[in-house]
C-alpha cells in the first residue's frame, strides 16, 4: 500500500495536555462524573456555572478525550436521528422543532464559550453543506428541506448543482442543502481546553482511573477504581460507546466503529482546483455517509463509508484501524476529487460511537434517582453533548425544564437483544445498507432504509 496506514490519531498528535493524576485513596464529592469526554466535561462546566460551590470529580479511564471526543471528525452540527425529515416523522413537529432548536443553540453557545474562555481549538463556524451525488440522495435532501420549511427553522438554503460545485469543485455534486448553524473544530483541543476550564472552576479530574464498580452506599453512591474510591450524592455516566459495558446502560447502546483518513497538506494550486474557500463541513446522504472537511493546516479529512459492530460489543485498540475501509475511503475520495490525483494520505484511524435503538441519544435517571446517564449520540455528538450537559445539570439539580422535556429524555426506547442476536442484527443491517448505497450509486431510485435491527426494535417498542 502506497499510503501510510495505522498512524497516530492526528488530533491527539497535534494537541497537548499534561496528564492529571489517577485516583488514589478515598475521596468525597457532591457529584462524580464517569467519562472525560464532551458529555462529562460539559456537564461539569454547566454544573459549576450554576452552582460554583459544588464539588465535582471527573474520572476518566484513559486520557481526556480518549474516546470519540478526541478522534471524531470535528463537526458541530444539529443532526439528530438519521435526518431532519426522520426526526420529524418519528417524533412529530413540536418535539422535532424543540430538539433541533436546542442543539442549534448549543452550536452557538459552544462558539461563545470557546471565545469567552480563550480555548484554542481552531473553531470555524462555516456551516454545513449536505450534498447529493445521485438521484436517491437528491430525494433525501429535498425531504430535509421540506421538513425544515414545515418546522419553520431558519438557516437552511438550497443549492443547485452549479451553485454547489462553485463552493467546492467536485463533479459528483447534483445539489446541496446548506445549513448555517454548524461549525468545525479541532476535537481533541476542544476537549483538553474544556478540561482546563473546568479545572479552573474547581472540578477535580482523575485520568487513567477506570471505574470498576458503581454501588449504593447509604443515601449516596460509591464509585470504585483499582486504587481509590469516591463517595458522592449523585453519579453521571458519560461513557457513550463504553456504556455498552455498564450495567445501567448495557442494553441501550451498541458501539459501532467508524473510520477516518487524512491527506497530506494540499499545495496552493491544489486548493485552487478544489475551491472550498470557507470552512464548511460536508456530508453526503448515503446510509453510511461520507463526511469531510478542511483542517487549519491545509489537509482534507475524509471519513465514513462503512461502520462495524463487533460481537459482544467488543472495544479494543486492534479495531482502531481497518485496511479494507481505508482502501474504500481512499477510492471514494479520488472519485469525489479526481483533480487531486494520487494525493497521499498520512493518517488513518477509527473508534467506536454509541448507537441507540431509535438513533437519538438517551438521557435518563436510575438507581433511585442517584445515577443519571447521557449516552448514544450516533456519531453526531459534538454539539448534542453540550445540550446533554445542560440536561444532566438539570437532572442533578432537580430542575424540570424545557431541556428535560426533550423527546430523547426519559423516553421509553427499545432495548437491544442479547448476543449473538445483537451482533447478527447489526451485521445483517450493515450489509443491507451498504448494498443499498451501491444501488444508489448505480442510479437506482431507492428510499430511506431503517437498519433491520432498529426497525424490529422500534416496532416492538
Give the pLDDT band (50/70/90) at residue 411.
very high
Residue 3 pLDDT:
43
Which tens digits make up the pLDDT trace of 263-277?
999 999 999 999 999
Please name every residue paired with 354 in a beta bridge, in sequence order, or none if there are none: 255
Whole-number Å distance between alpha carbons of 390 and 96:
18
Across 123-141, average pLDDT: 96
Which tens digits make up the pLDDT trace of 310-337?
999 999 999 999 999 999 999 999 999 9
Across 44-72, average pLDDT: 97
Give the pLDDT band (50/70/90) at residue 6.
very low
String of b and e for 220-239 (b: at least 16 CB within 10 Å)?
bbbbbbeebbbbbbbbbbbb
Rounded to the nearest 10 degrees, how much is the dihedral formed by the CA atoms of 216, 218, 220, 222?
-50
% of the chain exceeding 70 in pLDDT: 95
Tell the residue number behind the cell numbers 441519544, with chain if given: 361
Which residues, other chains included, contact 442 with Cβ-Cβ below 8 Å and sequence gap of 6+? none
Residue 366 backbone phi and psi in degrees, to 5: -140, -175
Q: Name the 3-class secondary structure at 445.
A: coil
Across 183-203, average pLDDT: 98
Across 14-28, average pLDDT: 96
Residue 455 pLDDT:
61
CATH topology of domain 10-405: FAD/NAD(P)-binding domain (3.50.50)
User: Computed from CA positions of residues 80, 81, 86, 90, in that sequence, does the dihedral angle turn out positive or negative?
Assistant: negative
Residue 461 pLDDT:
45
Which tens digits make up the pLDDT trace of 238-251?
999 999 999 999 99
Which tens digits make up the pLDDT trace of 141-174?
999 999 999 999 999 999 999 999 999 999 999 9
Give the pLDDT band (50/70/90) at residue 413.
confident
Is 161 within 8 Å of 175 (Cβ atoms)?
Answer: yes
Is 155 within 8 Å of 104 (Cβ atoms)?
Answer: yes
Rounded to the nearest 10 degrees, how much is the dihedral formed by the CA atoms of 391, 393, 399, 403?
-20
Give the pLDDT band (50/70/90) at residue 457.
low
- Domain residue limits, the chain: 10-405, 421-460
Residue 445 pLDDT:
81
Residue 269 pLDDT:
97
Inter-CA distances, 434 with 245, 359, 428, 439, Å: 27, 18, 10, 9
Which residues, other chains included, contact 90 with Cβ-Cβ below 8 Å and sequence gap of 6+? 81, 358
Q: Which grid cell sits at 40?
A: 462529562
Amino acid at each position: 500500500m502506497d499510503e501510510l496506514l495505522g498512524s497516530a490519531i492526528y488530533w491527539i498528535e497535534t494537541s497537548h495536555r499534561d496528564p492529571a493524576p489517577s485516583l488514589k485513596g478515598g475521596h468525597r464529592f457532591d457529584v462524580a462524573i464517569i467519562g472525560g469526554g464532551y458529555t462529562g466535561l460539559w456537564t461539569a462546566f454547566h454544573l459549576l456555572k450554576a452552582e460554583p460551590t459544588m464539588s465535582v470529580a471527573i474520572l476518566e479511564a484513559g486520557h481526556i478525550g480518549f474516546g470519540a471526543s478526541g478522534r471524531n471528525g470535528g463537526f458541530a452540527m444539529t443532526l439528530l436521528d438519521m435526518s431532519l425529515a426522520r426526526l420529524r416523522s418519528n417524533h412529530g413537529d413540536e418535539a422535532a422543532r424543540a430538539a433541533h432548536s436546542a442543539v442549534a443553540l448549543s452550536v452557538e453557545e459552544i462558539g461563545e464559550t470557546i471565545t469567552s474562555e480563550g480555548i484554542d481549538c481552531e473553531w470555524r463556524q462555516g456551516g454545513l453543506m449536505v450534498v447529493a451525488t445521485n438521484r436517491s440522495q437528491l430525494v433525501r435532501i429535498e425531504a430535509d428541506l421540506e421538513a425544515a420549511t414545515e418546522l419553520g427553522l431558519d438557516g437552511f438554503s438550497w443549492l443547485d448543482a452549479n451553485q454547489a460545485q462553485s463552493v467546492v469543485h467536485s463533479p459528483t455534486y447534483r445539489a446541496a442543502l446548506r445549513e448555517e448553524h454548524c461549525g468545525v473544530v479541532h476535537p481533541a483541543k476542544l476537549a483538553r481546553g474544556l478540561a482546563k476550564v473546568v479545572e479552573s472552576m474547581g472540578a477535580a479530574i482523575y485520568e487513567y482511573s477506570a471505574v470498576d464498580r458503581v454501588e449504593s452506599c447509604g443515601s449516596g453512591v460509591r464509585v470504585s477504581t483499582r486504587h481509590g474510591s469516591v463517595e458522592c450524592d449523585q453519579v453521571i455516566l458519560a461513557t457513550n460507546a463504553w456504556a455498552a459495558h455498564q450495567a445501567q446502560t448495557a442494553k441501550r447502546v451498541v458501539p459501532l466503529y467508524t473510520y477516518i483518513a487524512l491527506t497530506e497538506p494540499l499545495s496552493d494550486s491544489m486548493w485552487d482546483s478544489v475551491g472550498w474557500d470557507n470552512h464548511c463541513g460536508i456530508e453526503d446522504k448515503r446510509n453510511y455517509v461520507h463526511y469531510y472537511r478542511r483542517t487549519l493546516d491545509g489537509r482534507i479529512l475524509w471519513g465514513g463509508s462503512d461502520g462495524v459492530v463487533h460481537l459482544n460489543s467488543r472495544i479494543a485498540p486492534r479495531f482502531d484501524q481497518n485496511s479494507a475501509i481505508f482502501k474504500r475511503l481512499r477510492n471514494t475520495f479520488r472519485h469525489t476529487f479526481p483533480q487531486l490525483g494520487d494525493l497521499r494520505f498520512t493518517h488513518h484511524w477509527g473508534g467506536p460511537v454509541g448507537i441507540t435503538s431509535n438513533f437519538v441519544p438517551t438521557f435518563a435517571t436510575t438507581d433511585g434517582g442517584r445515577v443519571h446517564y447521557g449516552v448514544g449520540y450516533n456519531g453526531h455528538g459534538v454539539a448534542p453533548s453540550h445540550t446533554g450537559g445542560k440536561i444532566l445539570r438539570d437532572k442533578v439539580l432537580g430542575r424540570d425544564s424545557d431541556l428535560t422535556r426533550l423527546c430523547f429524555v426519559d423516553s421509553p426506547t427499545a432495548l437491544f437483544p442479547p448476543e449473538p442476536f445483537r451482533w447478527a442484527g447489526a451485521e445483517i443491517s450493515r450489509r443491507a445498507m451498504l448494498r443499498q448505497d451501491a444501488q444508489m450509486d448505480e442510479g437506482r431510485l431507492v428510499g430511506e432504509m431503517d437498519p433491520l435491527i432498529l426497525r424490529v426494535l422500534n416496532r416492538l417498542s
